[in-house]
A and B are shown apart, each in its own frame.
Chain A
C-alpha cells in the first residue's frame, strides 16, 4: 500500500480540466433558477440519484463522475444517500409505472429549493420504451424538469458540463 500511496503523490494528477458549462443547459436553466434559490445554494450542490426505470447504463456513467478523471467533488457537487439531504434529484430512465410512486415520494422528501435533472434519452420522453404499458413516459410526465442531459447514456463529460452549468446558474454567475 505504501508504494501505491507514494506513486499517487509522485505522478501527476489524472483529473482533467473542468469542462465549459454546456450552453444549451445554461439556456434551459436561465428560465428556471431564481435569485432567492441561488443565494441559498451558494457553490455547493448535493445530488440524490434516482433510477426511475433505467437500463443501468446511465448509472454506470454517473458513477464515473466520481473517478479520478472527472472528480465531481472538486466543484462542490456530491452525491448523498437520502433525498432529505439533497438539492438536486438526478433522475434516469423512462419512469416505469412500478416506480412512479417511489419517484413522487422521493421528490416529496426533498426539501425546497430543489431541482430535477433528467438524465439520458429515455428520461426525455421514454426513449425506446415510450408507449409501453409499463412505462409512464419521460421524467417530465411525472415531475417538473429543470434540466435535460441527453445521451444514451450521456458521457461523463456531458454530465459534467450539464452539472457545472447548474452550479454556475445556482451561484448566480
Chain B
C-alpha cells in the first residue's frame, strides 16, 4: 500500500496547480493507482481529460490527502480504470464520447452521453464524423417470465428527463439500467474560451438546485488558479447561502419523498417551509435560488439588516413548525412501512463508489467535504455530520432531517459572527490551474479549472455528486417492487442536468 503523497512524488510535478498537487505519471504509476482504488484504499473523486492526457483526482482516505495524477496519452489510449474499479466506467464512457480517449481493456464499450445526434462525435477532441444513432444495447437479464418496463426520457412528474429500463419478475425488479445524457448541453465545450464571468454563470446552471454549491466550487477553483483569497465576509456569506440552499432542498425533498408514498400532508407542510427559505433568500440576496450570487472573487450581493432579519425569521419559523412534522413522519406506521427496509444501499458499495451526501452518510460513509476536506468558514463553525448505517429510504430521510437542524445552527452562527468588510476581491490577471470541492445538498461537487493567458477559461471540468450515486440507485432498487421505485429514486434525488452537463 503506497500513500498518495508518495505516488505523486514519483511523477513530474505540474507547476501552477493549486491547492492540490498534480503530477504527470508513467504507466506503472497509473496502474498502481488503479490497484489502490480497486483495493479500496483510495476513493476516485473525478476522472476527466483533454486531447493527449487523462486526469484522475484521488482521495487517500486514511490520511485524508488529495491529489491529481495525469497520464499522457498522445496516441489516445490509456489503461482503463473502470476495468478494475467500477465507479470509473461511466466517466470513461463520457470521456470517450467527448474527447475520444480510449480506455484500454474497458469492459463497456457503449457510448454514454453521445446519442448520435450532435452532428459530430468527439466534440471536445477535435471533432469527428457523427456516430450512428442506432439502438442502444441494454444489458441483458435472462430468466423465465421476465418482462421489461421502459420509462422515460419524459417522465410523469415535473422532473428532469432520463430513461429507466426495468426488468421485472412480476412486481419485483430484477434489474434496473439507467440511460442518461438527454440533457447534455455541452457545458464543458461552452466553458472553454469563455470569460470567467460567463463561465461562472454556466457553472451556476450545471444543476439549478445546487447553483450556490456550484458557484462556490467553481469560484474557489478559479481563485486557487489565480492564487487569491476572497474577503472573509464573502466566505461567510457563501456559507450562509449554501446552508439556505441545503435547507430549502432538504425540506422540499423530505416532503416529496413522503408524497411518493401518497402521504401528501407532509408534502404540503414541507413545501410551505421550503417556500419560506426561497422567499428569505430572495429578500436577502435578490434571487430565490441565489443564482449568480457567488462569483469568482467573492459574492455579488451583500446582506443588509432587513435580509438578515428575514433569514432569522425563517429559521425561527422552521424551529417552530418542523419538529411536529418530524414527529408525524416518525409516528406514522403506514408511512414507515413504505420507507423502512426499502431501497437498501449496502455500506460497502457506498464506500467503493465514494457516494457523497445523504446517500453515502445513510450507508455509513462519513465523508462530508465541509468536514473531511474542510474549507472556510466551516473550520470556524460548530456542526455535526449525521451518519447512519441502515442505508434504506428511511435512513436517507433521517439524515436529511438531521441536516436541516445542523444547517439552521450554522445559519444562526453565521448571522451572529458575520465579519464586516468588502464582499468581492478584484481578480488579478494571471494563469494557472485550480481545484476545489464544495458540499452541495446532495454531495460533493468537484471543480477543476485551467485559466489561460487571456484570463479566460481554457478548460473546466465539473463533476456532480450524482456520477457516483446514479449507479448505486440501480443496486438499491434490486429486489424491491416496481411501485417502490419512485420512493427510492426520490430518496436519492440524483441530478440529471449536473450529471449530463
Are B269's CB and A4's CB within 8 A?
yes
A57: which of B153, B184, B205, B332 is its contact (CB, 8 Å)? B205
Q: Which residues of B contact A66 (CB under 8 A)?
A: 271
Tell me if A35 counts as interface (CB < 8 A to partner B).
no
B495 at the A/B interface (Cβ < 8 Å)?
yes
B185 near A: Cβ within 8 Å? yes
Whether B189 pairs with A51 at a CB distance below 8 angstroms is no
Choice from A53, A60, A131 contacting B183 with Cβ under 8 Å? A53
Across the interface, do B189 and A132 meet the contact criterion of CB distance under 8 Å? Answer: yes
The A-B contact count (CB < 8 A) is 138
Q: Which residues of B contact A1 (CB under 8 A)?
A: 265, 328, 332
Interface stretch (choices A22-30, A92-100, A141-149): A92-100
* CB pair A98 B158 closer than 8 Å: no
Decide yes or no whether B275 CB sits under 8 A from chain A. yes
Find A133's partner among B158, B186, B268 (CB 8 Å cutoff).
B186
> Chain B at the A interface: mostly helix, strand, loop or mixed?
loop
- Taking a contact as CB atoms closer than 8 A, the residue among B189, B202, B497 that contacts A56 in the complex is B497
On whether the beta carbons of A64 and B275 are closer than 8 Å, the reply is yes
Q: Which residues of A contact B153 (CB under 8 A)?
A: 99, 102
Check if B205 sits within 8 Å of A94, measured CB to CB.
no
State the CA gap A24–B412 with chains docked (Å): 42
Closest to A49 in B: B158
Q: Is A45 an interface residue (CB 8 A)?
A: no
Bound-complex Cα distance A99 to B72 (A)? 35
A131 to chain B, nearest CB (A): 8
**Residues of A bordering B, CB below 8 Å:** 1, 3-5, 14, 49-64, 66-69, 79, 81-83, 93-94, 96-102, 106, 128-129, 131-135, 152-153, 155
What 10 pairs across the A-B complex have the smallest Cβ distances? A57-B208, A134-B186, A132-B186, A81-B156, A55-B208, A67-B271, A55-B205, A56-B208, A97-B117, A49-B158
A-B contact list, 13 entries, CB within 8 Å: A52-B161, A56-B496, A60-B289, A64-B271, A67-B268, A81-B157, A98-B115, A98-B183, A102-B154, A132-B189, A133-B186, A135-B186, A155-B288
Given contacts A51-B183, A59-B159, 11 further A-B contacts (CB under 8 A): A1-B328, A52-B161, A57-B211, A64-B275, A67-B275, A93-B183, A98-B183, A128-B198, A133-B120, A134-B186, A134-B189
